[in-house]
Amino acid sequence: MNNDLVFVTSEPQPEPRWFRALTLSGKPAGLGFRCPVCAFGYPHDAPDRVFHCGAWEKAPLITALLPTRSPNGNFGLPPRVIPIGTW
């Protein structure tokens, strides 16, 4: 019989720096960028290279798997779905 103890921790995943930005109506608004260290960011239409924390960072080439963010707080909700208390 194996008496080894196993500890499992659920640490929160770091927030991605790059994301697909959406307008209030849900239309694509380019890529957004947000650095959790220096709090520098572009809410939408970020350039291909961003200078923050003393270095340049390039935008990812494959953006299909990036999370989506909307300025009204709807993170990836389907179209025509309005969360209660936001209107």
In a domain, 44, yes or no: yes
Tell me: the pLDDT tens digits for 63-77? Answer: 888 888 887 665 555
In a domain, 2, yes or no: no
What is the residue range of 41's domain? Answer: 18-69
In a domain, 85, yes or no: no
Q: What is the pLDDT of residue 57?
A: 92
Mean pLDDT of all residues in the chain? 77
Q: What is the pLDDT of residue 14?
A: 60
In a domain, 53, yes or no: yes
70 or 82, greater pLDDT: 70
Look at residue 61 and give its three-state secondary structure.
coil
In a domain, 78, yes or no: no
pLDDT at 81 over 80: no
Domain count, the chain: 1
Q: What is the pLDDT of residue 64?
A: 83
In a domain, 9, yes or no: no
In a domain, 79, yes or no: no
Question: CB under 8 Å to 59, separation ≥6 — which residues?
Answer: 18, 31, 33, 46, 47, 48, 49, 50
Mean pLDDT of 41-50: 91
In a domain, 51, yes or no: yes
pLDDT at 7 over 60: no
pLDDT interval class at 62 (50, 70, 90): confident
Pairing mode of beta strands 68-69, 18-22? parallel
Task: Give, as one character, the DSSP assignment of residue 57.
Answer: E
